[in-house]
Copies of this chain bind each other. A is one copy, B any other.
Amino acid sequence: VTSDGGTRDVPTGRPARVPTPRPDDPRLARLSLNQWTTRRLGLPELVEACSLRGIPAVGLWREQVHEVGPARAAELVASAGLRVSSLCRAWGFSAPSGSAWTAAVDEARRAIDEAATLGAPVLAVVAGGLPPDDRDLAGARERVRDAIALLAPEAGAAGVRLGLEPLHPMYSADRSVVSTLDQALRMLEGIPVEQAGVVIDTFHVWWDPDIRAGIARASGAIVALQLADWITPLPPDPLLGRGMLGDGHIELDHLVRAVLDAGYRGDIEVEIFNQDVWDAPPHDVIDTVMRRYVEVIGHALS
């Protein structure tokens, strides 16, 4: 709030263009706040803030869930009247064959258990990058597929779906050898959609000339939808380029509409990694997220 009483968005400091939605606003029915967007809040503060504002769901990260334990985290969320939209994440199936790959798979099994405890319908999966001194992308991709094929039935049996998330190609070397929606869908061929599907994150896929066709083809296999904008210039740390909705270059309303038209019925998570956002007061961040969510993708939601 500024000295003239006007509300301002963070982190830009520009005047808000819409009022902050009230807790009973029906447009909030599918909004989920990813925990990392307001990383300075502990889980109790996060769920309280969401509950007060009428945000019905949260996306959680394993590291922060571990701080209180999965059972206590589940209690905190449920007692605030919220639900968990997804758990981040299983990771690193591109590891070299042998003990490193087995360790990644075993860690993913623990993550599946935690997702089940939390009642999270989806465990996000990030493939991992190339091992050191290894340039064999095709081989790394095969190991990712093998891990998912192995784990998917176990996830399904636990009531959790694996959500393979293609990451932006600027992370292909060091974070994810799975870079496009089409590639992720091909990796999942033959695996029932009740066990595994794809996570669509606007920041990672917006540039893809084939994204509309891929979304239509994905249809029932879309298990989660995450939102962030693409801002320029990229910050020095390319992990922190995720912008507040509406601050960047992505036609977010069209992308969200395409995902909803493809039959996606789940929550819509706002997940922003951005130093300016993290430096802003967390409650201002949440209020801005709510305003931008209805301002930027409101038409797609209606």
The stretch that binds B, out of A68-76, A115-123, A156-164, A231-239, is: A231-239
A135:B209 contact, CB within 8 angstroms: no
A250:B135 contact, CB within 8 angstroms: yes
- Asked whether any CB of chain B lies closer than 8 Å to the CB of A268, the reply is no
Chain B: which residue is nearest A236 at the CB level?
Answer: B236
- Asked whether any CB of chain B lies closer than 8 Å to the CB of A104, the reply is no
What chain B residues lie within 8 Å of A232 (beta carbons)?
Answer: 173-174
CB distance from A140 to the nearest CB of B (A): 11
Main secondary structure of the interface of A (DSSP, over half): loop
- Asked whether any CB of chain B lies closer than 8 Å to the CB of A130, the reply is yes
Interface centre among A137, A207, A209, A251 (most CB of B within 10 A): A209
CB distance from A216 to the nearest CB of B (A): 15
A234 to B210, CA, bound (A): 26
CB distance from A151 to the nearest CB of B (A): 21
A130:B168 contact, CB within 8 angstroms: no
A15 to B168, CA, bound (A): 35
B135:A173 contact, CB within 8 angstroms: no
What chain B residues lie within 8 Å of A169 (beta carbons)?
Answer: 168-170, 207-208
A174 to B168, CA, bound (A): 16
A230: contacting residue among B173, B180, B210, CB under 8 A: B173
B172:A137 contact, CB within 8 angstroms: no
A211 to B210, CA, bound (A): 15
CB distance from A135 to the nearest CB of B (A): 4
- Could you list 9 further interchain pairs (A-B, Cβ under 8 angstroms) beyond the known A169-B169, A170-B170? A136-B251, A141-B209, A168-B170, A169-B170, A172-B207, A180-B209, A182-B210, A236-B236, A238-B238
- Asked whether any CB of chain B lies closer than 8 Å to the CB of A183, the reply is yes
A207 to B238, CA, bound (A): 17
What chain B residues lie within 8 Å of A130 (beta carbons)?
Answer: 249
